[in-house]
Structure 1
Amino acid sequence: RFHTIKVLCIEGYDYDGEELFETVENGVNAMIKGINFHPDLKQILKQESSHANNLEVLEIYGCDNLINLVPSSTSFQNLTTVAVDFCYGMINILTSSTAKSLVRLKQMKIFHCKMITEIVVDDDEEGDNYAANYEIVFSELKELRLSSLESLTSFCSVNNCAFKFPSLERLVVEDCPNMSIFSGGELSTPNLRKVQLKQWDDEKRWAWKDDLNTTIQYLYQQQ
């Protein structure tokens, strides 16, 4: 019944505790525990898997052996929420191909992943000088939270990829000391008015300088 799963929560360690799931209509919740007891596991879905299209919520916690969230060809056409926390071995979250499929994504939270350098990476094997210009539109994304990512340098550094966030209203960038720019290419965030510096202190700790890239550069220089 894996094809009916809409909420998937994966934890690296097997422990007893209260399970908290978001509720989706006509869906099945699944909890997978103990991934860190399988050190050879590097990803949670097979390259040819089509089950990802049914997922609406994907939460990954404490999975140190995962290097990438999913294979580069994975499509998440119905995904609304992504949360990744305490995954110390992960180096990126999404490839550009997967990011293009996230047409319904509303919330993304990435916390405590000390190896991550970028959230979205180009999956063009020839590099960004080879590929033509392209754009990724997160049309429904309203909230993006990045916290305690000590190696993060940017959301995406590819200079021939334009990002559009027409619905983004809340952006948290907390304890990301090496983040010097948000995006290397064109960037549009028409509804964003500030960058929140603390998750739970919305009114007091924020910054804004003309646009998002300028704001991130300013915060980096102020350290």
Structure 2
Amino acid sequence: MLFNIDGTISHSIELLQQLDELILNDLPNLTQIINEEIVKLYQDLKILQVKNCESLEWLPISQVLKNMEITDCMALHKIVIIHEEEGRRGKTTFSQLKDVSLINLLNLSIAFPIAVEFPSLETLKIENCPSLKTFVEKSNEEKDHPELDNSNYFFPNSLSLDKLKVLYVMNQPVEELWHYNCPSESFCDLEKLTLRNNKKLLSVFSPAMIVRFNKLKNLTLEKCEFLAEVFILEGDKPNHDNQEMLPQLRVLAMSNLSKLTCFWNKEPQVPFFLNLVSLFIIHCHCLKSLFSLSQAQNLKKLKILRLCNCEKVEEVISSDKGEKVATIFPKMKCLVLKDLPKLVNFCQEGGCFNWPNLQTVRVNNIPSIKTFLRDDLNTPLLKSVYITFAKKLWLGNLNKTISYMHNNPGV
């Protein structure tokens, strides 16, 4: 025990009441922090960091916490909230809590009770807590009536996270992140979303939820093996009016999504990705193309495209009923195409592509591509193509260079 204090010793109690920061590292034999009898005296703690305390079984936390980081506590199974008033009922509010990290807590099954509020929470990181099926505990009604159980949703519809800006959910057994009927203000301030190694995750954005993410700037999806589509645009509750999809998204990175076949299950009816700057698609072996020609017109600010290790990709931009467009990716600066064995061309449709800002092209192991485009490509700043990390090749334009590489595979 860390604080084995007799409640009758006044000076010890005074010291404990003044404690506002507690950092515990590498204490393998620590089983509890404080006596249960005097735990309420520990209620002014604002910063709590606990790492590598393998034997710690339960953890008391105060309602005035600002930062909580719990890592590698293998025996921890319960977090206990210290109430200011004994026997208090109703909602518990963490009015100052801004940052929460729960990492490698193999036995933690309950993080917070159902009646809890986080009006200031900005950053939430949950990683490798396999017993934690939901962020807050089930209500008694859900426990008594299984048909009301929303346990498939990591964030239940009773929880409001209206100040959340950064969310990491990694290596969790979660099928659905959020309930379509969660409070209308929830997640509307989210700027960065990272979902990694969530092997049961079935979807990310439903029609009812996607309208909330107007501030999202960075989206990373990695190793979500069951994820076949990122954006579900039909099949849920009716959508709301939405003038634009993800208008502030700057960076989209998707990797090791073995079942991903497309971005969305239905053609978007509104403009999308209008401010996307960087797009990275890596190890997505069921994708055959990224966008149709008409869809690609939305990406007017795209500067970096990296497409690698996608076994079935045949073209980057798919055919679109003979439409010819000259303004695809007008801001493009850097293009990387690597390990794409079935890639035939960038786009089958004819027309002059104008890329006045393109300066860097890297290609490697694209054996099926004979020419980059059927027609002309205007790239006034491009003077060479990288065929290895340092080796360059250039035959006057991109089409001729790609054609030469195809005819001379050992180059």
Instruction: Sort the TM-score into its range (normalised by shorter chain).
Output: 0.7 to 0.9
- Return the offset for 1:55: 1.1
Q: Which residue of 2 aligns with 1:179?
A: 369
The aligned amino acid for 1:63 is: L
Among 314, 319, 338, the residue aligned to 1:147: 338
The aligned amino acid for 2:332 is: L
Relative to structure 1, the CA distance from residue 108 to residue 149 in structure 2 (aligned partners, 3 Å threshold; closer, same or farther) is: same
Cα distance in 1, alignment partners of residues 325 and 218 from structure 2: 35
- Aligned partners of 2:219 and 2:253 also within 8 Å: no
Q: Secondary structure at the match of 2:232?
A: coil
Q: Which residue of 1 aligns with 2:245?
A: 51
Q: Which residue of 2 aligns with 1:88?
A: 285
Q: Percent sequence identity over matched residues? A: 23
Number of paired residues?
198
Cα distance in 1, alignment partners of residues 274 and 188 from structure 2: 14
Q: Secondary structure at the match of 2:402?
A: helix
Cα distance in 2, alignment partners of residues 5 and 103 from structure 1: 23
The Cα RMSD (Å) is: 2.5
- Aligned partners of 1:42 and 1:65 also within 8 Å: yes
Cα distance in 2, alignment partners of residues 98 and 8 from structure 1: 23
Q: Which has the larger radius of gyration?
A: 2
Cα distance in 1, alignment partners of residues 371 and 192 from structure 2: 33
- Aligned partners of 2:383 and 2:394 also within 8 Å: yes
Q: Which residue of 2 aligns with 1:19?
A: none
Cα distance in 2, alignment partners of residues 194 and 72 from structure 1: 36
Cα distance in 2, alignment partners of residues 184 and 4 from structure 1: 44
Write out per-residue CA displacement over residues 60-102 of structure 1, whole angstroms, 9 at most, x where no aligned residue. 0111111123454362100000001011111111211221111
Unaligned residue ranges in structure 1 (runs of 5+): 16-25
- Aligned partners of 1:5 and 1:29 also within 8 Å: no
Cα distance in 2, alignment partners of residues 139 and 28 from structure 1: 21
Q: TM-score, normalised by structure 2?
A: 0.44
Q: Secondary structure at the match of 1:155?
A: strand
- Aligned partners of 1:8 and 1:55 also within 8 Å: no
1:63 is aligned to 2:257 = yes
Relative to structure 1, the CA distance from residue 113 to residue 9 in structure 2 (aligned partners, 3 Å threshold; closer, same or farther) is: farther
- Aligned partners of 2:218 and 2:249 also within 8 Å: no
Among 187, 198, 201, the residue aligned to 1:14: 198
Q: How does 1:16-165 map to 2 (within 5 A)?
A: 29=218, 32=221, 35-36=224-225, 38=226, 41-47=227-233, 50-70=244-264, 72-73=267-268, 75-124=272-321, 128=322, 131=323, 133-159=324-350, 161-165=351-355
The aligned amino acid for 2:344 is: T
Q: Secondary structure at the match of 2:246?
A: helix
Cα distance in 2, alignment partners of residues 56 and 6 from structure 1: 10
- Aligned partners of 1:2 and 1:51 also within 8 Å: no
- Aligned partners of 1:76 and 1:98 also within 8 Å: no
